Amino acid sequence: YPHSNSQPNKDYNVVIVFLESWLSKYVGTLGGKPAVTPHFDSLAQKGILFERFYATGTRTNRGIVSILCSFPSQTGRSLMRKYTDNGALESIAEVLKEKDYPNILIYGGDLQFDNMEGFLRIRGFDRFVGQDDFPEEDKLGKWGVPDHLVFQRANEEFVKFGDKPFLGVIVTLSNHEPFLLPSDSFKIFSPDVPQWEYLNAFYYSDWSLGQFFHLAEKQSYFKNTIFVLVADHGRFMKTEV
């Protein structure tokens, strides 16, 4: 919208970060206990924190449709997994293409899983970085590349856009079963703590997010970027007795 002083509108970069399986009950700034998100909590003090954001499902394939296409999760098979045009949808990539924004999606896993790349290509995304675009030694288990390396790559790719406004999407994955960690230093919870493996992965995911912002703030694109941090979905939790 135009500024009150009639200055021309500015085209900002847009970076959307999907935070795998993040739950508010463990986010410190939202009153979570135990709090495992010191880096996110710090970022929340510098930005706008939405306290009434709710997941539309329990799978990434539903979160992607909801977040990138503003379309609520439906019963039955996810729209991302229906191999049709889905012409009624419009993604943020398609909207920003009208303003000549290039785009890129960075994911440490298999881009073909759940038809992610196929769906998003139809919906206007052009460039993708997946696990096959990382060195083989970077992979950690079946899900692919850990979050901190995905964030490093994302920063490198964003720098390449130079002064041209862009759309960037980062899909994290480390906070997911089997909760593999690149280092034992992130194991701050012991097995006697309920959900201890999940909480350790959550803590690592938050640390990786913090490392990304440490990298990004040194780059010229940083001050001209709107960063959107949002969980991809909710999570079924076992009842502790």
Task: Kindly state the helix (H) or strand (E) to which residue 37 belongs, with its residue range.
Answer: none
| DSSP string of 164-229, one letter each residue | S--EEEEE--SSSTT---S-GGG--S-TTSTTHHHHHHHHHHHHHHHHHHHHHTTSTTGGGEEEEE
pLDDT for residue 216:
98
Mean pLDDT of the chain: 88
SS3 call for 51:
coil
Closest CA relative to residue 125, chosen from 95, 103, 100, 106:
103
Identify which has the larger pLDDT, 60 or 147: 147
What are the tens digits of pLDDT across the range 165-200? 999 999 999 998 899 999 999 999 999 999 999 999
Q: Where does the pLDDT of residue 2 fall: very low under 50, low under 70, confident under 90, or very high at 90 and above?
A: very low
pLDDT for residue 81:
59
Average pLDDT over residues 1-11: 58
Q: Where does the pLDDT of residue 80 fall: very low under 50, low under 70, confident under 90, or very high at 90 and above?
A: low
Range of weakest confidence among 33-47, 55-69, 209-223 = 55-69
Q: Is the model's pLDDT at 87 over the cut of 70?
A: no
Average pLDDT over residues 54-71: 77
pLDDT for residue 142:
81
Contact 212, 151 (CB under 8 A): yes
pLDDT for residue 113:
83
Q: Is the model's pLDDT at 38 over the cut of 50?
A: yes
Q: Where does the pLDDT of residue 5 fall: very low under 50, low under 70, confident under 90, or very high at 90 and above?
A: low
What are the tens digits of pLDDT across the range 117-131? 988 998 899 999 999
